[in-house]
Structure 1
Amino acid sequence: MTTAASGHGPLYLDACATTPPAAAVLEAMASAAATAWANPSSLHGFGLAAAELLERSRLGIASSLGCDPEALVFTSGGTESIHTALLGAAAPLPSGRLLISAVEHPATLAAAAALERRGWQVAVLPVDRLGRIDLTALESLLEPPTRLVSVIWGQSEVGTVQPIEAIGRRCRQAGVALHVDAVQVVGHRGVAFNRLPIDLLSCAAHKLQGPRGVGALLVRPDLPFVPLIGGGGQEGGRRGGTEAVALVAGFARALELCDARLAAHGGTDPVAALRDGLLRRLLDLPGLRLSGPDPLGGPAASDDRLPHHISLLISDTAGAPLSGRRLVPMLWRQGVAASSGSACSSGGGPAPSPVLQAMGLTQAEAASGLRLSLGPWLQAADLESVPEALMRSRAALAQADGRASSR
């Protein structure tokens, strides 16, 4: 199965879920698996070869993320990185209050719930109709017993990019540690950890055409921190377990490709131009409405949204919201792989998205979300068929809903 249309198979527009690994990444992993398969903690020649590749990859990733190599802790992905950040940073502290936003990823919600079970309070920061955090509410809560803040930098469902530097400055002034979920941001814009007012940062390789099963947590060297996973003292004693050298090598190569792409386009992800062209065509169609920030609203607007991200609210010709979740398989029958932000309820039907509800949408609207997320495997010609495919799918869904309601 290919990732592009142009007569070559289904079109993959679900980059925020995962990305197809780049050919160069697969080559780097195959080479590592063949030459650096040993345990990097072993002191014989095989182990030393693995350790050398691991550390060379670490240096490359640290350079890409603008951090010291000692700040990097390799994990199994974004979810583990987020849990390690919040539970590890909270462990040395007296029980206090954790602040999170109303639009966090489920991994952050799960880690926050774990802290609640340990006696912590959790407060939720409200957002506006574009999904942006209320900075006034943040300032009012950055006082005891608040000891930790966790914010998603780029929201995966609606694409909102939070003003991390403004949030970080407020946290620094209050003496409160800040964790940033950068899973959707890394690879799409430059990240210079050492120059940002944040203390912990989580990311994952599979969002940027790297392998699944590997991610990273960046930790300020002076931050008190307790490992989530103990063991053999790997990763500077901050995460036990034999490192997956081939996956880390793939991660490093994926970041190299991202860096080169950004550098070739003045620091801007070139997929944004593809996204904007498709978005203009989609917003000319009836029954489609943008959710989250509008990247077409001016030069500064593009900074408010992930460059590869489109999120829509879908309705029928009468304006009644349609199920985004039910639209996804219909789109697949048209040769387009997309996703819906709304989760599936236990009964298997559509459920309203908590993120869209936090942004002030009704329950019906919050179940009508559709996400299209793009990547560098695409060209403009690949996207020509998307509006027509979406219109056919929407019409089929509206017709099916009409038949169901007439029974």
Structure 2
Amino acid sequence: MTGPEHPYFYLDGCATAPLRESVISCMIRAQQESWGNPSSLHRIGCDAAESLERARLSISNSLGADRSDILFCSGATESAHLALIGLAKTQSPGRLVISSVEHPAVAAAAQQLVACGWTIEEWPVDAFGKIQMEHLDRLLQAPTKIVSLIWGQSEVGTLQPIQVVGEACRSKRIPFHTDATQVLSQGCPNWNELPVDLLTASAHKCGGPRGIGLLLFRQEIAERIQPLFAGGEQENGLRAGTECPVLAQGMAAAFRDIASCQANQIELSGSGIASVRDALLALLCQNDAIRLNGHPTERLPHHLSMLVSDRHGQPMSGRALVRALDREGIAASSGSACSSGRDSDSPILKAMGVDPLWRRSGLRLSLGYWINPATLTEINDRIQNAIDRMNHNLA
């Protein structure tokens, strides 16, 4: 039962974030004024095309990029596929290096290349989910032709050292791609300062609309990318299909909000999201049944990954706990939203060397701009209530 006196707390921002008010108003205006097909030559089409390019320019300003560096697509999954498969199509097969904790979209794109003669090698990670840097020199030797690393891991929150890896790739002229979907939901890095050739992001993790993402790419890489499917010549011939200015404007508004908060250092009433996350973690960890998972410091600022045990010290089912939390008025996740519906081992926790018994006990809480820090005590109380109820039901 939820209502003004018993609100429902949404702690699953890594799955999708609620639309920002600025995004809603921007999209309503765009729908009224820019609903035409941007490829049409009449006035309505030209208005739509102008709206699309204004959105592209706004996003480029937020990210320190040139507007020609931005390609709109349907989301992060398509972006990652275009980056890896589109780049691989234009060269002879070699080795693609990815981390062992990639998002399923990147792992799936990599597997498609196997049928084309490519070999895939997974970069091992340590117990925190961070790549083991002692493998750097070996993995960047021939026959490696592309490297792709997730910047911020969505299930456990660990950040990868993309600056170091990117600079090493650049010195060897190896194209470097990163899935930055979760990182860009919390801040806008400067594209010109990143040693990255291709960057994937999505709007709906940022408080923008679902159904749109982007691929950032260096101009010298553009001619080496082949489109995934044929059709029109939209997006400079790299992505066929009618563009949607409404979604693009919504994405641009979300990035403007993030960049503004970042520039003014104002977020959650002057308190950084990391400090709010840490305050919640301190409350939760008063219960010995809860322990942090992933890297303790080098992690996404809005992300908590935990392993939860029952009163006997045994792993508690993460999926069952998510359902119990929902009854308490809290939305959470047992892992990545793209795989949490399956009752199976987490490949991410497996790569980190987590004991098989504990791989189903993960709980992910991801916060955002919509969280009021004054509610943290109540959130903690509800989580503890859910755990207590599950313990009470044990035989």
TM-score by shorter chain over 0.5: yes
Structure 2 partner of 1:364: 357
Structure 2 partner of 1:270: 272
Structure 1 partner of 2:308: 314
Superposed CA deviations along residues 254-313 of structure 1, whole A, max 9, x for unmatched, are 00111111112189982212111111111111200000122xxxxxx3xx1111101110
Aligned residues of 2:230 and 2:240 also touching (Cα < 8 A): yes
Q: Distance in 2 between matches of 1:278 and 1:226?
A: 46
Q: 2:318 aligns with which of 324, 333, 336?
A: 324
Q: Note if 1:237 corresponds to 2:237.
A: yes
Going from structure 1 to structure 2, the CA distance change for 1:116 and 1:68 (only over 3 Å counts) comes to same
Q: CA deviation at 1:22?
A: 0.9
Q: Runs of at least 4 residues of structure 1 off by over 6 A?
A: 266-269, 342-346
Q: Note if 1:256 corresponds to 2:249.
A: no
Match for 1:308: what amino acid? H
Q: CA deviation at 1:342?
A: 7.2
Going from structure 1 to structure 2, the CA distance change for 1:352 and 1:83 (only over 3 Å counts) comes to same
Aligned residues of 1:97 and 1:123 also touching (Cα < 8 A): yes
Q: Distance in 1 between matches of 2:160 and 2:139?
A: 18
Q: CA deviation at 1:196?
A: 1.0
Alignment: residue pair count: 391
Structure 2 partner of 1:354: 347
Q: Note if 1:340 corresponds to 2:334.
A: yes
Structure 2 partner of 1:162: 160
Structure 2 gaps of 5+ residues are none
Q: CA deviation at 1:349?
A: 7.3
Structure 1 partner of 2:247: 247
Going from structure 1 to structure 2, the CA distance change for 1:345 and 1:81 (only over 3 Å counts) comes to closer
Q: CA deviation at 1:232?
A: 1.3
Structure 2 partner of 1:218: 216
Q: 1:76 aligns with which of 74, 77, 87?
A: 74
TM-score with structure 1 length normalisation?
0.92
Aligned residues of 1:286 and 1:317 also touching (Cα < 8 A): no
Q: 1:184 aligns with which of 162, 168, 182?
A: 182
Q: Note if 1:386 corresponds to 2:388.
A: no
Going from structure 1 to structure 2, the CA distance change for 1:188 and 1:116 (only over 3 Å counts) comes to same
Structure 2 partner of 1:21: 19
Q: Note if 1:34 corresponds to 2:32.
A: yes
Structure 1 gaps of 5+ residues are 295-300
Superposed CA deviations along residues 331-381 of structure 1, whole A, max 9, x for unmatched, are 0000000000178999x8732211111111101111110000001011112
Structure 2 partner of 1:90: 88
Aligned residues of 1:147 and 1:177 also touching (Cα < 8 A): yes
Q: Distance in 1 between matches of 2:336 and 2:232?
A: 41
Moved more, 136-145 or 113-122: 136-145
Going from structure 1 to structure 2, the CA distance change for 1:163 and 1:31 (only over 3 Å counts) comes to same
Q: CA deviation at 1:389?
A: 1.4
Match for 2:351: what amino acid? A
Q: CA deviation at 1:138?
A: 2.7
Q: Distance in 2 between matches of 1:212 and 1:134?
A: 34
Identity over aligned residues, as a percent?
A: 47
Q: CA deviation at 1:390?
A: 1.5
> Residue 220 of structure 2: SS of its match in structure 1?
coil
Superposed CA deviations along residues 28-52 of structure 1, whole A, max 9, x for unmatched, are 1111111100011111111111111
Aligned residues of 1:343 and 1:352 also touching (Cα < 8 A): no
Superposed CA deviations along residues 68-87 of structure 1, whole A, max 9, x for unmatched, are 11111100001111111111
Going from structure 1 to structure 2, the CA distance change for 1:113 and 1:269 (only over 3 Å counts) comes to farther
Q: Distance in 2 between matches of 1:184 and 1:241?
A: 26
Going from structure 1 to structure 2, the CA distance change for 1:20 and 1:151 (only over 3 Å counts) comes to same
Going from structure 1 to structure 2, the CA distance change for 1:219 and 1:127 (only over 3 Å counts) comes to same
Aligned residues of 2:289 and 2:308 also touching (Cα < 8 A): yes
Q: Note if 1:102 corresponds to 2:100.
A: yes
Q: CA deviation at 1:202?
A: 0.3
Aligned residues of 2:76 and 2:201 also touching (Cα < 8 A): yes
Q: Note if 1:117 corresponds to 2:115.
A: yes
Q: Note if 1:148 corresponds to 2:146.
A: yes
Superposed CA deviations along residues 184-207 of structure 1, whole A, max 9, x for unmatched, are 001312311222111100000000
Moved more, 205-214 or 337-346: 337-346
Structure 1 partner of 2:46: 48
Superposed CA deviations along residues 189-227 of structure 1, whole A, max 9, x for unmatched, are 231122211110000000010000000001111111111
Q: Note if 1:12 corresponds to 2:5.
A: no
